[in-house]
Amino acid sequence: MIAVDNEPPRRGRPPRADPAEIGMIALHLFVERGLDNVTMEDVAVAAGISRRTLFRVFPTKASIVWGGMTEFTRELEQRVNAASGNNAVAILHRAWVEALHMLDSTVEITRLRMVLIASSEDVRGWGYAQLAEANEVLERQVARIEGTAEGTLRARLISTALVAAGFSALAWWAQTNDPRTPAEVIDQSFNELDSIFGPSG
């Protein structure tokens, strides 16, 4: 059976589909009403766009909640590639903080996303592929920086620990309504890790 879009044609210039604006509207609806109580139709109506336009920008609720993760991973990888040195943890720490500055202008969206992600196992599961991609990228970078073969236990531990720490720190930041930027919180969290697991005196 073929689904038919019964929306009447819109006259004049179509509304501008700004992903950031649509995402903000959708995330507020999700937080206020609960994810299960908001349909994509509700989002389209609230944003003043057609369902067709909405699905072109965000095909699923998951793509709204986890939006930007792939772009962030690419930005992080570029910054790691541009760095020099052989201390993988220090390079990843610095690159992560620098990459997060790209979110400074969208702090509210980031906070809403993290509130939703932290609130539900199902929502966290939606982002499994994105987190796995981030882990793989960082694991390759650790091996490259340290001049070792890919797939070593050390590379896996470093990448997994940083992704988990970063995710946990941002979830805490969102849930506690901490006033700092994501970059500032990540910087502190990685410094805390270093103080816990770094070389003892």
CA separation for the pair 68, 106 (Å, rounded) = 11
Spatial distance between the Cα atoms of 191 and 72, rounded to a whole number of angstroms: 21
Q: Residue 113: exposed, middle, or buried by beta-carbon count in 10 A (0-12, 13-18, 19+)?
A: buried
The pair phi, psi for residue 165, each rounded to 5°, is -65, -45
For the record, the structure tokens of 55 come out as 């699905």
Predicted confidence band of residue 196 (pLDDT cuts 50, 70, 90): confident
Residue 120: per-residue pLDDT? 87
As a whole number of angstroms, the longest Cα–Cα distance in the chain is 71
pLDDT of 121 higher than 60: yes
Q: For residue 199, what pLDDT is reported? A: 61
Helices (H) and strands (E) in the chain, counts: 11, 0
**Encoded tokens for 96:** 């992560």
Report whether pLDDT(9) > 50: no
CB 98 within 8 A of CB 79: yes
Domains of the chain and any CATH numbers: 19-64 (1.10.10.60), 67-197 (1.10.357.10)
Question: Do 156 and 137 contact (CB within 8 A), yes or no?
Answer: no
- Residue 45 reports pLDDT greater than 90: yes
Helical pair 69-82 and 88-100, crossing angle rounded to 10 deg: 130
When mean pLDDT is compared across 1-10, 55-64, 115-124, the lowest value belongs to 1-10
Q: Is the pLDDT of residue 12 over 90?
A: no
The pLDDT value given to residue 11: 38
Question: How far is it, in rounded angstroms, from Cα 103 to Cα 105?
Answer: 5
| pLDDT tens per residue across span 65-111 | 998 888 899 999 999 999 999 999 999 999 999 999 877 668 899 99
Q: What is the pTM of this model?
A: 0.82
Angle between helix 88-100 and 182-197 (nearest 10)? 160
For 42, the token pair is 């509700």
Q: In the predicted model, what is the mean pLDDT of residues 15-27? A: 86
